[in-house]
Structure 1
C-alpha cells in the first residue's frame, strides 16, 4: 500500500449526520416521513427566488462557473455592512474558507487554538496541513468560553485562534469583551465563526475597524437555506483577503450555487421569515423539553439545542436510535471532543415536526 501522510493516518474521521436514505433503509421507514433535527438545517426550505433562479439557469451547467463574482461579493458586502474587498466567497460552505485559511497561514508545527466542545471541522482541516491543536476550554455547565484557558494556550507558535459564537453544539455566545481581550493578547489570526449569528442577532463586525487580526467566518447553509449548495464566505482585512485569493481555487463556487446565493440575498422577506421561524421553533423546543425532569436543556442562541440526557438512564447512542426508529434524526454528540456519551443536539424544525418530536420523546421517556 502507498505511504499515507502521517497527519491523515492519525486523524479520526469526521462523523456527519445520518441521511434520510440511510435511516429509511436501516429502520424500514418512508424517507418522506423522516424528520431531520440533527444537522442544523433550515426547516423553511430555500427561498422561492433561489429555486426559480436555479430552474431558469439549469441549461448552463455545461459551462464553467464564473471566475469573477464581484456582483455577489457586492451583495454579501451590502448584507453584512462591509466593503466588497473585505469579502471572500467559497464553495463547500464555510469549510472551504477554513481550508484556504490553512493554506494561507500554516507551516508544519504551527499551533492553533480550539475550545472543545465546538465545531470539529477546524481540527479536520488544520491538522492535515501539519498544524498542532492546542485545547482551550468551553465551560459546558455555564455555557460560556473559559477565556483564561484561551489566554493560557497562546504561545509564540500560535497562528490561529478559533472562537465559535454561537458555539456549536452548545448554543452559547462569546461576549464581545472577551473576544476583544483575546484579540489584544495575540498577533495570531482570531477566527470568529458566526455561522449562526442571525439566530442570535449578535455579530462582531464593528471590531474589524479596530483589530487587523480578526477574521469572521459565515455561511449560506443556515438562515439562507442553502446547505446543499455549499456556499461560505469570510470577512477580513483587505490585504489578508488578497493573500487568501492567491491559494483559493478559481472555480470553487459552482454556477448554480452562485445563482442561488444571489437570488437569496435578493429576498430579504425570506431571510426575515426564515430567522423568525427558526427562533420560534427553538424557543418552543426549549420550553417543552425543559418540562422533562430527566433532561437538562441548555439555553441556545443558535438554531439547535444541546441536551444532557444522563438522567434518562440512556446514553446518547441508545436514545438517538430510539428516536430514529420513530423517524426522527437528532445528533448524537458523543463524537464531540469535550462531551461524553450523554449528550444530544436537537435542531429546529417546523412546528408540526416539533410537536411530533415532543410526543415521541414523551413515549420514549415514559
Structure 2
C-alpha cells in the first residue's frame, strides 16, 4: 500500500456546492428546471465579448499558454488601480493563489489564523502543506469580525492571517480600521480576501501603499462571470509578488481562460450590469425572506445571504434536501466550521429565479 501523508489521511475533504447534473440525476428532475443558488455564481452569465474571444481563439488550444501574462496583468492592474508589478494571476481561480501562498510562506508547524466561520478552503489548502490552523472569531449575531480574537491569536509562529471581506458565508464587511489594527499587530502576511468586493462597492487597495505585509485576494469567478474558466489574482508589493512567481506553476492559466479574462475586463458595460443585477437580486431576496417568521436572514454585502433556519424545525441538510427535491439548490452550511446544523446560504439569481425560490420557500415554511 502506498504510504500517504498522515495529514492527508486526517484531512476533512472540502465540500463544494451541489451541481445541477448531480441533482437532476438524484431526484429525476429536468436540468432545465433546476435553479442553482448554492455556489455564488453570476446570474448574468458570461460576457458576450468573452464568448466571442474564446470562439475566435479556440484553435490555440494545441499551443502552450502565455507564461508571464503581462497583458492580462496590465489590464487587471488598471481595473484595480495598481501597477502590473503588484499582480500575480492564478489558473485555478483564487485557490491556486492560496496554494502558492502556502508554498511561499509555510514551513511545517507554522500557524495561520482563520476567523470562524469563513471560507474553509484556506484551511484545506494550508494544512496539506504542514500549516496549523488557529481559529479566531467572527461574531455571527452582529455579522462582524471580532478583531481582538484575531490579534490575541497571533504568535511568533503565525505566518498568514485571513480576513475575508465580505465574509463567506456571512456576507459582512470588515471595517478598514480593523484591518489596519491587524496589519499593525504583526509581521505575518495579512490576506484580505476580496472575492466579492464588487458587490460591496468597498475595497482596501489604498492600504497596500502603507503595509508591505498585506495581500489582497480576488477572482474572476463572481462578478466577472468566469467561474468555469478558473482565473484568480492577488495584489501585493512587488517584492513579495516576485517570490510567489518563483513557486507558481508557469503554465497554469489556459489559453482560453486568458483570452476570456482579457475580453471580460474590456466589457465595462457587462461588468456594470452584472454588478447591478446581483445587488438588485440580493436586496429583493433579503426583503422577501425577511417576511418569513421562521427564518432569520442576515444583511449581506456579497452576492449571497446567510439564513438561520432553526425555527423551521429542520436541520440544514433536511432543509436543503427539501428544496432540492423542488429543483432549488442552496448551500447547506453544516460543513463551515463555526456554524451548527441550522444554517443555509442562498446565492443571488435572476429575479425570475428569485421569485420561484420564494414561492417554493413559502410552500416549505410559510
TM-score range (shorter-chain normalised) is: over 0.9
Distance (whole Å) between structure 2 residues aligned to residue 158 and residue 28 of structure 1:
49
How far apart are residue 43 of structure 1 and its match? 0.3
| Equivalences for residues 13-28 of structure 1 within 5 A | 13-28=13-28
Distance (whole Å) between structure 1 residues aligned to residue 359 and residue 161 of structure 2:
41
Structure 1 position 337 matched with structure 2 position 351: no
Tell me what 1:271 maps to.
271
How far apart are residue 171 of structure 1 and its match? 0.1
Tell me what 1:253 maps to.
253
Tell me what 2:74 maps to.
74
Distance (whole Å) between structure 1 residues aligned to residue 73 and residue 124 of structure 2:
27
How far apart are residue 68 of structure 1 and its match? 2.7
Distance (whole Å) between structure 1 residues aligned to residue 258 and residue 75 of structure 2:
11
| Equivalences for residues 166-315 of structure 1 within 5 A | 166-315=166-315
SS at match of 1:61: helix
Tell me what 1:326 maps to.
326
Distance (whole Å) between structure 2 residues aligned to residue 181 and residue 310 of structure 1:
35
Distance (whole Å) between structure 1 residues aligned to residue 338 and residue 134 of structure 2:
13
How far apart are residue 67 of structure 1 and its match? 1.0
Tell me what 2:105 maps to.
105
Distance (whole Å) between structure 2 residues aligned to residue 160 and residue 292 of structure 1:
40
Q: How many residues align?
A: 366
Structure 1 position 48 matched with structure 2 position 12: no
Tell me what 2:136 maps to.
136
Distance (whole Å) between structure 2 residues aligned to residue 21 and residue 142 of structure 1:
37
SS at match of 1:82: coil
How far apart are residue 194 of structure 1 and its match? 0.1
Distance (whole Å) between structure 1 residues aligned to residue 234 and residue 364 of structure 2:
42
Distance (whole Å) between structure 2 residues aligned to residue 6 and residue 190 of structure 1:
28
Question: Where do 4+ consecutive residues of structure 1 move more than 2 Å?
Answer: none
Question: What whole-Å deviation, never above 9, does each CA across 1:187-210 have from its counterpart, x for those lacking one?
Answer: 000000000000001100000001
Gaps of 5+ in 1: none
Tell me what 1:3 maps to.
3
Structure 1 position 127 matched with structure 2 position 127: yes
Gaps of 5+ in 2: none
Tell me what 2:163 maps to.
163
Tell me what 1:353 maps to.
353
How far apart are residue 278 of structure 1 and its match? 0.1
Distance (whole Å) between structure 2 residues aligned to residue 334 and residue 255 of structure 1:
37
How far apart are residue 4 of structure 1 and its match? 1.0
Question: What whole-Å deviation, never above 9, does each CA across 1:262-308 have from its counterpart, x for those lacking one?
Answer: 00000011000000000000000000000000000000000000000
SS at match of 1:136: strand
How far apart are residue 69 of structure 1 and its match? 1.1
Distance (whole Å) between structure 1 residues aligned to residue 208 and residue 35 of structure 2:
39
Distance (whole Å) between structure 2 residues aligned to residue 239 and residue 58 of structure 1:
35
